[in-house]
């Protein structure tokens, strides 16, 4: 979905406020977070003030350092995706690492129903569990 400049400005502001709120709740200063993600404090201020949206690399670092909960990350990802017009960086990385998934996605030309999304979510959770168990066995064996 293509967003208007006005919508993007509002979304950048909302994403920035959310990042600031999460950072404050973690009792982290703006300067401390900027140092952790290796950007000038002024750049982080522009992100938190909604002037700029974080690049994929900076967004990934913010997520890594702030460790948002599931609800927070879902909201952040929604804002980020709407602003950038792409999935969040970790989802893009997953798709790139699993390029065989492209064909399966392309076969579906229609928007998924809530029921279908739930089924897909359950399937992906089962695969994630299977992969975690495999890696644990591999590391222990």
pLDDT digits (tens, 9 = 90+) for 42-89: 999 999 999 999 999 999 999 999 999 999 999 999 999 999 999 999
Mean of pLDDT values over 10-18 = 97
For residue 92, give every residue at least 6 positions away whose Cβ sits within 8 Å of its Cβ, in sequence order, or none.
56, 86
Mean of pLDDT values over 6-22 = 96
| DSSP-derived secondary structure letter, 103 | H
pTM, whole model, 2 decimals? 0.82
Domains of the chain: 5-85 (1.10.260.40)
Structure-token match 């999304």, residue found: 117
- The whole-angstrom separation of Cα 12 and Cα 14 is 5
């Amino acid at each position: 979905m293509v967003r208007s400049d006005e919508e993007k400005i509002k979304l950048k502001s909302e994403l920035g406020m959310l990042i600031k709120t999460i950072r404050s709740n973690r009792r982290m200063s703006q300067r401390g977070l900027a140092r952790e993600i290796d950007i000038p404090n002024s750049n982080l201020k522009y992100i938190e003030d909604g002037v700029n949206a974080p690049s994929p690399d900076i967004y990934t670092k913010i997520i890594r350092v702030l460790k948002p909960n599931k609800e927070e990350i879902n909201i952040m990802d929604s804002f980020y995706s709407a602003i950038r017009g792409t999935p969040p960086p970790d989802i893009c990385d997953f798709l790139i690492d699993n390029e065989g998934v492209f064909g399966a996605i392309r076969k579906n030309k229609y928007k998924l129903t809530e029921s279908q999304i739930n089924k897909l979510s359950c399937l992906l959770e089962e695969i994630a569990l299977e992969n975690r168990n495999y890696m644990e066995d591999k590391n222990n064996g």
